[in-house]
Structure 1
Amino acid sequence: MRKILLLTSILTYAAFASPYARCVSCHGANGEKVALGKSKIIKDMTKAEIITALKGYKDGSYGGAMKGLMKGQVSSLSDVDIDTIANQISK
């Protein structure tokens, strides 16, 4: 019974977790940090800039020093996830 409750809790959390949750450790809860001392402060970016950056990281056409790291972070994001992140963070 405990295993079922634990699995249900995990699945519920995963279903409702923000796609931005994976970004918080480097970029901060509100996009206020310079990630690893190299990134832009993403809360200052427009929605269009965030979408362009995330899609570019995903297809390999965007990025500098953190391009490889970011490609791994965004590779599983859907267009809906990208839009959700952009809405949450943008000006």
Structure 2
Amino acid sequence: MLDKGKALYLKCAGCHGASAEKPALGKSLVIKGWSKEQIVSALEGYKNGTYGAVMKGVMKSQVSSMTKEDIEAVAEYISKF
């Protein structure tokens, strides 16, 4: 699952940083240090429109095609930073 998560995270790294250390586009929370559960909750919320503030629209389009398995995999990967 970590290999899949790593591959999926490549799409995220441009904004969030190689180790999830940056606020995306200078506007979001830093996700480094978040638990897998926090990340899954945020990504699912972005996908269904129930989570997010300034970056809600951007993130909804980023996660719209992600499956539950994709979300679990990338969340597992990010939670290891």
Above 0.5 in TM-score?
yes
Question: Among 24, 28, 36, which residue is 1:47 paired with?
Answer: 36
Q: Which runs of 5+ in 2 are unaligned?
A: none
- Structure 1 or 2, whichever has the larger Rg, is 1
- 1:48 is displaced (CA, Å) by 0.6
- 1:29 is displaced (CA, Å) by 1.2
Question: Among 76, 84, 90, which residue is 2:73 paired with?
Answer: 84
- 1:57 is displaced (CA, Å) by 0.2
TM superposition outliers: structure 1 runs of 4+ over 4 Å: none
* Mapping of residues 1-91 of structure 1, within 5 Å: 18-91=7-80
Deviations 1:42-76 (A, max 9, x none): 11211110000000000000000010010000000
3-state secondary structure, aligned to 2:32 = helix
Q: Which runs of 5+ in 1 are unaligned?
A: 1-14
RMSD: 1.6
- 1:79 is displaced (CA, Å) by 0.8
Question: RCO higher in 1 or 2 (8 Å CA, sep ≥ 6)?
Answer: 2
